[in-house]
Amino acid sequence: METHQLSPGLNVCKILNGMWQVAGGHGYIEPKRAVSEMVKYHEAGFTSWDLADIYGPAEDFIGDFRRKLADEKGEQELKNVQAFTKFVPEPARMSRSFVEQSIDRSSKRMGVESIDLVQFHWWDYGNVSWLDALLFLSELRDKGKVRNVGLTNFDTAHMQDMADAGVRIASNQVQYSIIDQRPAVRMAEFCRNNNSVIYAYGTMCGGLLSEKYLNKEEPPVAGVDTLSLRKYKKMIDAWGGWKLFQELLTAMKGVADRHDVSIANVAARYVIDRPAVAGVIIGARLGLAEHRNDNARVFGLVLDDEDRKKIEGVTARSRDLYEVIGDCGDEYR
């Protein structure tokens, strides 16, 4: 397993298990089975989890998982778990007490005294209370309730505002894939210059970047049946459409076959290798589907210039999503 040190003593697997899928829209997930599956992920070396206070029972699942892990392997095993959550309040006036109560609630649900990383998301830049929230989160970090303060879906300009205000940000979680390479325009350089990292989601485009969709007709609306597939199909449409996407899958399949891996492995490795990227988040449909063995092959994959040239020969003919959508996170505002 490859890891990245986010802060002293906190080494994060470069493939994180994403828990958006437990929030609904991806099929019913049975809680006890889900927690048992989480133990299997941990045993396979995938020890890092990405969740949010708005992902339904995700924080409770982490708490149950930690208790099960401690019962089965002892309390000392909990030191090998990394769990990140998101703080996603409604854009309104932020008070110190509200922020602290919100973090305390997440900590209680997750069964931790200090949260490894709290990633802050804010829907409306027009409401400048986002800076107050970050200052209060920074205070909680200094008090030990939070180990690191990060962001979700903020753009580069607002990260610069934070830096100018003296706010120390450990990470920003943004959409980043072979399809959506907007973070490479401005975000990556900012992060490298400000001791911050990128955690990438959407790297598999909800599963569209896989053999399952190679040489297939464009799916009808009814065939795009999960929230992830609907979200990333729209991204592919904006990027260049299904025909160009098939050309990309063909090129990626050639690279995958050369290395005896999967298209999904190539998609993950390509983004992990990008500047400032500390890890990619791959959704875990706990109890419904699992790709642990396939995901592990990412760590043995080394892409060379020839591989990247094949991929970029296709992406060079796509639309510039930075021009179409804007900077990271602009699709949410």
For residue 74, what is the domain's CATH number? 3.20.20.100
Quote the pLDDT of residue 210: 97
211, part of any domain? no
Quote the pLDDT of residue 291: 84
Report the C-alpha gap between 284 and 290 in whole angstroms: 7
Which residues does residue 117 pair with via DSSP β-bridges, in sequence order?
84
**Is the per-residue pLDDT at 287 higher than 60?**
no
Per-residue pLDDT tens for 135-183? 999 999 999 999 999 999 999 999 999 999 999 999 999 999 999 999 9
Quote the pLDDT of residue 289: 64
For residue 207, count other CB atoms closer than 10 A to its CB.
18
257, part of any domain? no
Q: Which domain holds residue 159?
A: 7-206+264-302
Both tokens of 44, joined, read 């396979």
Per-residue pLDDT tens for 105-131? 999 999 999 999 999 999 999 999 999
pTM of the model: 0.95
Task: Check residue 74 and give left, alpha or beta (phi > 0: left; psi -120 to 50: alpha).
Answer: left
**Are residues 260 and 271 in contact, defined by beta-carbon separation less than 8 angstroms?**
no
Report the C-alpha gap between 301 and 260 in whole angstroms: 9
248, part of any domain? no
3-class DSSP state for residue 325? coil
3-class DSSP state for residue 90? coil
Quote the pLDDT of residue 277: 98
46, part of any domain? yes
Both tokens of 131, joined, read 């800076």
Report the C-alpha gap between 145 and 150 in whole angstroms: 14
SS (H, E, C) the chain: CCEEEEECCEEEECEEEECHHHHCCCCCCCHHHHHHHHHHHHHCCCCEEECCCCCCCHHHHHHHHHHHHHHHHCHHHHHHCEEEEEECCCCCCCCHHHHHHHHHHHHHHHCCCCECEEEECCCCCCCCHHHHHHHHHHHHHHHCCECCEEEECCCHHHHHHHHHCCCCCCEEEEECCCCCCHHHCCHHHHHHHCCCEEEEECCCHHHCCCHHHCCCCCCCHHHCCCHHHHHHHHHHHHHCCHHHHHHHHHHHHHHHHHHCCCHHHHHHHHHHCCCCEEEEEEECCCCCCCCHHHHHHHHHCCCCHHHHHHHHHHHCCCCCHHHHCCCCCHHHC
Number of domains in the chain: 1
Type of residue numbered 234: K
Report the C-alpha gap between 284 and 275 in whole angstroms: 25
41, part of any domain? yes
232, part of any domain? no
216, part of any domain? no
Phi, psi of 261, deg, nearest 5: -130, -170
Report the C-alpha gap between 46 and 44 in whole angstroms: 6
Residue with tokens 């979200």: 231
Confidence of residue 14 (pLDDT cuts 50, 70, 90): very high
Per-residue pLDDT tens for 202-239? 999 999 999 999 999 999 887 787 888 999 999 999 99
Quote the pLDDT of residue 26: 61
143, part of any domain? yes
Mean predicted lDDT score pLDDT of the chain? 95
Region 69-81: what's the mean pLDDT? 97
Confidence of residue 29 (pLDDT cuts 50, 70, 90): confident
For residue 104, count other CB atoms closer than 10 A to its CB.
12
Which residues does residue 197 pair with via DSSP β-bridges, in sequence order?
171
- How many residues are present in the chain? 333
